[in-house]
């Protein structure tokens, strides 16, 4: 009971924390939506104001141009006042484009100044990093140099001692090597002479064996060729004779009778298979009824199990169970779990044996089906099922 109480409190704390986080997220989301709507409203108002100002400006420009066209007195030869004003407007447009071409690099440089300053700052950091690394390498090199000098002094003394020991060892090893070379030359000469004599004997014996094997193989091939020639001559002679033609007709007649007998046997087996199929379908109706009852029983067991599991721990703080009820529910749950497991094991064994039997005979007799059911004990302890209404 205490464990269930602690588990319930822990779950409740988790639920409260999750709810608090979700509420915070929803409040932030609503605030962001309100801010976004306010921003869109401000943008819409600014857009409307800009459009109103721009339309007024364009209208005033159009009215001024119309007045200039009406009161224009000077124009080039062959031009109307409208063409003169249009030419003057194009010249002003070219001057504006020239001013824009001059001002754009200035604006671009002013726009790039923060980026350039950031890059300069990053370059300063990089230079500082490299300088610090260089100073660290210099200090490490100095410390390494001191260690190397001390190690060189130790190595110089040790190498002198080791060199003298090595010279003495070399002199001794040379003497031993000279003695070993003399012994090896004597032994190798003796072994070489023995190996040469053995090689000559084995090579001559191998050559004789190869020759004997090759000659035997050639003789067998020649004999096989001669036998094949004799068989071919005998077969050609038999085919040319009258007896071979009679034997061929007899074989064709026997083959025809054999095919008729095979057709009759196949028809009989087809009829018996159809009769057995009708009986098998009737048996499978009963099997489906028992299977439906069995799965309904399994569903009841599972539902009762989960019902007991839900009753073990209360749904709120005011629900508690006593120790005796808890022990009884746990015992009942273990019994139902064991029963359900045993039922699943029997069902799997029953299915496996049915598959194996169907693979062997394709169509089973009722005795074979109930024999498999009795061996797996799949229907033991079950209540009889009422016949289904049509």
Strands (E), the chain: none
| Apex 214 CA angle, 208 and 220, nearest 5 | 135
User: What single DSSP character describes residue 386?
Assistant: P
CB 280 within 8 A of CB 364: yes
* Dihedral angle of Cα 90, 94, 99, 104, to the nearest 10 degrees: 110
What is the C-alpha separation between 315 and 11, in angstroms, rounded? 11
User: Helix, strand, coil proportions of the chain in percent (round to 5)?
Assistant: 90, 0, 10
User: Please, how many CA atoms are within 13 Å of residue 70, restricted to the half-sphere of its CB?
Assistant: 6
Q: What is the pLDDT of residue 175?
A: 87
Per-residue pLDDT of the chain (390 residues; tens, 9 = 90+): 677 888 888 888 888 888 888 888 888 888 888 888 888 888 888 888 888 888 888 878 777 766 665 554 444 555 555 666 666 666 677 677 777 778 887 887 787 788 878 888 888 888 888 888 888 889 999 999 999 998 888 888 898 888 888 898 888 888 888 888 888 888 888 888 887 777 777 767 766 777 777 777 777 777 777 877 777 777 667 666 655 555 555 555 565 666 676 667 667 766 766 666 666 666 667 767 766 776 776 667 666 766 666 655 444 444 455 566 767 777 877 888 788 778 778 878 888 887 787 777 656 666 777 787 788 777 665 544 443 343
Q: What is the pLDDT of residue 255?
A: 58
Phi-psi region at 117: left, alpha or beta (left = phi > 0; alpha = psi -120 to 50): alpha
Q: Is the dihedral of CA 300, 302, 307, 312 positive or negative?
A: positive
Instruction: Return the exposure string of 9-39: e unless at least 16 CB atoms fall within 10 Å of the residue's CB, then b.
Output: eeeeeeeeeeeeeeeeeeeeeeeeeeeeeee
The burial class, CB within 10 Å (0-12 / 13-18 / 19+), for 381 is exposed
Q: At which residue do the structure tokens 């050559």 appear?
A: 207
Q: What is the pLDDT of residue 88?
A: 67
73: enclosing H helix or E strand: none
- The tokens describing 257, both together, are 């009778």
| Apex 250 CA angle, 247 and 254, nearest 5 | 140
- The per-residue DSSP string of 23-42 comes to HHHHHHHHHHHHHHHHHHHH
What is the C-alpha separation between 384 and 294, in angstroms, rounded? 11
């Amino acid at each position: 009971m205490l464990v269930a109480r602690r588990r319930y409190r822990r779950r409740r704390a988790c639920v409260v924390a999750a709810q608090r986080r979700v509420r915070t997220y929803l409040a932030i989301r609503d605030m962001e939506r309100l801010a976004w709507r306010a921003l869109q409203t401000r943008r819409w108002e600014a857009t409307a104001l800009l459009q109103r100002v721009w339309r007024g400006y364009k209208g005033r420009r159009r009215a001024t141009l119309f007045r200039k066209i009406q009161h224009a007195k000077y124009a080039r030869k062959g031009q109307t006042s409208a063409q003169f004003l249009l030419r003057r407007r194009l010249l002003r447009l070219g001057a504006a484009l020239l001013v824009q071409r001059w001002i754009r690099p200035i604006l671009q440089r002013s726009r790039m100044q923060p980026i350039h300053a950031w890059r300069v700052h990053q370059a300063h950091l990089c230079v500082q990093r490299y300088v610090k690394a260089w100073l660290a390498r210099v200090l490490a090199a100095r410390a390494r140099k001191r260690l190397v000098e001390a190690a060189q002094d130790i190595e110089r003394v040790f190498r002198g001692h080791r060199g003298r020991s090595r010279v003495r060892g070399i002199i001794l090893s040379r003497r031993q090597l000279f003695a070993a070379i003399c012994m090896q030359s004597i032994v190798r000469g003796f072994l070489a002479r023995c190996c040469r004599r053995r090689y000559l004997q084995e090579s001559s014996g191998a050559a004789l064996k190869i020759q004997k094997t090759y000659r035997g193989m050639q003789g067998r091939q020649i004999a096989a060729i001669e036998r094949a020639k004799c068989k071919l001559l005998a077969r050609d002679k038999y085919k040319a004779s009258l007896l071979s033609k009679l034997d061929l007709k007899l074989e064709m007649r026997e083959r025809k009778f054999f095919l008729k007998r095979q057709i009759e046997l196949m028809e009989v087996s087809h009829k018996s298979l159809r009769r057995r199929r009708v009986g098998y379908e009737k048996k499978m109706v009963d099997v489906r009824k028992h299977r439906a009852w069995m799965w309904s029983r399994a569903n009841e067991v599972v539902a009762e199990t989960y019902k007991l599991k839900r009753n073990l721990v209360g749904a709120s703080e005011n629900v508690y169970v006593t120790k005796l009820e808890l022990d009884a529910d746990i015992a009942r749950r273990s019994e139902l779990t064991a029963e359900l497991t045993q039922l699943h094991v029997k069902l799997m064994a029953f299915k496996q044996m049915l598959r194996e039997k169907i693979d062997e005979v394709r169509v089973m007799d009722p005795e074979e089906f109930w024999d498999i059911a009795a061996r797996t004990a799949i229907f033991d302890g079950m209540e009889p099922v009422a016949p289904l209404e049509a």
